[in-house]
Amino acid sequence: MNYSRIRQGTFRERPNRFIAYVDIAGKQETVHVKNTGRCAELLLPGAAVYVQEADNPLRKTRWDMIAVEKGSRIVNIDSQVPNKLVKEWLEEGNLFENITRIQPEYTYGKSRFDLYVEAEGKKIFIEVKGVTLEENGVVRFPDAPSERAVKHVEELKSAVGEGYEAYVFFVVQMRGVKYFTPNMDTHPAFGEALLSAAKSGVHVLAYDCEVEKASIHIAKPVKVVLEERSELSVPHQIAEPIVSWFREHKRELPWRKNPDAYRVWVSEIMLQQTRVEAVKPYYERFLKELPTVKDLAKAKEDKLLKLWEGLGYYNRVRNMQKAAQQIVIDYQGNFPDTYEEILSLKGIGSYTAGAISAFAYGIPKAAVDGNVLRVVSRLTGSREDIMKQSVRKKIEEALERIIPPNAPGDFNQGLIELGAIVCVPNGEPKCGECPVAGFCEARKQGSIAMLPVRSKGKARKIEERTVFVFRDGKQLAIQKRPSRGLLAGLYEFPSELGRMSFEEALAYSKKIGLMPVRVKELGEAKHIFSHIEWHMTGYEILVDELEKTNKKGFLFIRPEEIEKEYPIPSAYGYYTDIVLRK
User: Closest Cα partner for 321 from 348, 341, 343?
Assistant: 348
389-400 helix and 370-380 helix, angle to the nearest 10 degrees: 70
* Cβ atoms 70, 211 nearer than 8 A: no
Edge-to-edge order in the sheet of strand 111-119: 99-108, 111-119, 122-131, 165-172, 203-212, 215-221
* Cβ atoms 470, 554 nearer than 8 A: yes
Query: How buried is 556 (Cβ within 10 angstroms: 0-12 exposed, 13-18 middle, 19+ buried)?
Result: middle
> What are the residue numbers of the active site?
268
143 HSE (CA, 13 A, CB side): 20
Q: Which one-letter DSSP state was computed for residue 534?
A: E
Largest CA distance in the chain: 119
CA distance 222 to 139: 10
For residue 491, the tally of other CB atoms under 10 A from its CB is 22
CA distance 477 to 492: 9
Beta partners for 53?
A: 63
